[in-house]
Chains A and B, each alone.
Chain A
Amino acid sequence: MIEVENVTRTYGAFTAVDDVSFTARHGRVTGFLGPNGAGKSTTMRVMVGLTPPSRGRVTIGGHQYAQIPNPGRHVGVLLDASAQHAGRTGREILAIGAATMGLPAKRVDEMLELVSLTPAESRRRVRNYSLGMRQRLGIAHALLGAPSVLILDEPANGLDPAGIHWMRGMLRDYAARGGTVLLSSHLLHEVEMIADDMILIGKGRIVAQGTKAELLQTSGTVVRAVEDEALRDRLAEAGLRVTSADEAGVRVDAEPVEVGAVAARHGLTLIELRPGEGAGLESLFLELTADTQREGGAA
């Protein structure tokens, strides 16, 4: 379990992380979601003592990270897959980690196999690795010490679809066996697929957190029909509230089945009928992203 309590980190006048508190529970995958530069990495660096917080504290399983003896045996960390000496082979990087933690050399082979890096690949220098291979190596490094907590910064970055699928299964399995997983991402759908709990951060502040079910709860219905105008009139007659209407469809504050029934009664031709998006999570996220895109788009 990771507990972040009122962590703030400032750099001069700039506040990178602003009074952030959350808990990543064991047995669950917690997604830490936010656009680039939102403060995810800084928060994770504070967790493992690489960056001292200006205020607040983090405990992992009840301990401050630096107080954990041989921390690699308890907490697996992947902060930046490219932060490796490019002149070392993948195998050597794992071997150094294993030697530091006091693990048998065969653990290196086990981890290489787990992340599907072939023996030939493992003997190549990391300079020649693709980002996806570096991520696999980084995940292998994080898992070396058989930790019960995993802290992964953008682990899916650079993985191909098969790799993302593999990682999802691996992390779900890990959490199912009681482990704590905290992973960050700047992609909503990535987190949506893997996480049980979600924490949304923007400009250093937490803007939403909860279980995936809570945050992605659907509301209302989106419907499109050939006879768009008629549909809206009939819905109003039936007492169903239309909240908005544009080319993307008519949004109705009702269940899809009720909307479908109205259309059927009046012989209207539906093109689309589906539940509306979640409790504003996606639009909230888009808003955050638009803000930081610096492209002059609508915020």
Chain B
Amino acid sequence: MTAPATIDVSGTDKIPFPRLVAVEMRKMGDTRAGKWLLIAILVITALVVGLILAFAPENVKNFEGFLGASATPQGFLLPVLGVLLVTSEWGQRAALNTFTLVPHREKIIGAKVIAAVLLGLAAIVVAIAVAAVAALVAGNDNVWGAYGVGDTGKFALLQTLGILQGLAFGMLLLNSAAAIVAYFVLPIAFNIVTSIIAGLRDVQPWIDPGTAQTPLFGGSALTGEEWAQLATTTLIWIVLPGVVGAWRVMRSEVK
């Protein structure tokens, strides 16, 4: 530490992006809320599949039935994971340290998006694996049901969209409670409104994510129109709040 007036930074490497992703994933699991959320996702997935295996009628004990059942609790919990990844830092002001160590907020936002998607994909892989094992154990005549193995891609897409929407709402509101409530209440309210108002009914599949995402649950392939509807609702409900939220994170002063 023989310090002249200037600091020689030529020997210091930039922080590699994968390291930031790894740190963000670590931060998801090292608080009580985050750790229990991850545990809950795994336990509930296994529990739901186990209950169906034990009690459901024989004809639903196939891959389609198992995966479909685990989609519901994961669909609720994974977006919360997305929300918390952003808001736990804000509510606790830990962002002060994060943005001081990495004074490039766009990198942190990017790392959080990748971390959320990776954690979500891990949960989805677990769900698929548990459903597949359960289906084989059940030994039904039709092991896979109406579900092609390729349809797991649609399942993964559905869940990933949920996580990204949670992340977007988290950045937009920067408050855990507000973001979680908004994430669950807004789409339902919007769905009701667009169902009631006659003029909106025709455009509903283009603006209501609940309607547009329904085909992702099924076993049949999406039509071009359905893909387009998925794209417009994604734009409105994920990209738009995500962009506004990212802008907010970039601009706001962390105090």
Contacts and interface: CB of A to CB of B under 8 A. Distances in A.
Interface string A74-93: 10010110111111100011
A138 to B, nearest CB: 9
B6 A1 contact: yes
Contacts of A71: 100-101, 103
Contacts of A63: 6-7, 9
A295 to B, nearest CB: 26
Contacts of A112: none
Interface string B3-18: 1111101001111000
Interface in B167-194: none
B94 A148 contact: no
A51 B27 contact: no
Interface string A36-53: 000000000100111100
Contact of A74 (B7, B33, B99): B7
A18 B136 CA distance: 72
B101 A72 contact: yes
A179 interface: yes
Contacts of A122: none
B129 interface: no
Given A50-B254, A70-B15, A73-B12, A84 B103 contact: no
User: Interface centre among B31, B89, B100, by most A CB within 10 Å?
Assistant: B100
A62 B6 contact: yes
Interface residues of A, number: 46
Contacts of A96: 23, 26-27, 30
B103 A49 contact: yes
A280 interface: no
B5 A62 contact: yes
B39 to A, nearest CB: 15
Interface size bucket, B side? 35 or more
Interface string B205-239: 00000000000000000000000000000000000
A48 B14 contact: no
A148 B102 contact: no
Contacts of B20: 100
B7 A97 contact: no
A216 to B, nearest CB: 26
Nearest to B251: A52
Q: In terms of DSSP, what is the predominant structure of the interface of chain A?
A: loop
A179 B1 CA distance: 7
Given A68-B9, A77-B100, A99-B22, A179 B3 contact: yes
B104 A66 contact: yes
A277 to B, nearest CB: 34
B97 to A, nearest CB: 7
Contacts of A88: 30-31, 94
B248 interface: no
Contact of A97 (B30, B31, B97): B97
A84 B93 contact: yes
Nearest to A1: B5
Interface string A100-112: 1110000000000
A149 B3 CA distance: 9
Contacts of A68: 7, 9, 12
A283 B27 CA distance: 48
A33 B88 CA distance: 33
Nearest to A146: B1
A1 B97 CA distance: 22
A32 interface: no
A120 B146 CA distance: 55
Nearest to B14: A69
Contacts of A84: 92-94, 97
A71 B101 CA distance: 6
16 contacts: A1-B5, A48-B100, A50-B100, A51-B253, A60-B7, A63-B9, A71-B100, A74-B7, A86-B92, A88-B94, A96-B26, A97-B101, A100-B102, A101-B101, A102-B19, A179-B3
Interface of B: 1-7, 9, 12-15, 19-20, 22-23, 26-27, 30-33, 88-89, 92-94, 96-104, 253-254
Given A50-B254, A85-B89, A96-B26, 6 more contacts: A1-B6, A27-B3, A70-B13, A87-B33, A100-B19, A178-B1
Interface of A: 1, 26-27, 45, 48-51, 60-63, 65-66, 68-74, 77, 79-80, 82-88, 92-93, 96-97, 99-102, 141, 148-149, 177-180
Q: What are the 7 closest A-B residue pairs judged by CB atoms, nearest first?
A: A61-B7, A62-B6, A83-B93, A85-B92, A83-B96, A87-B31, A178-B3
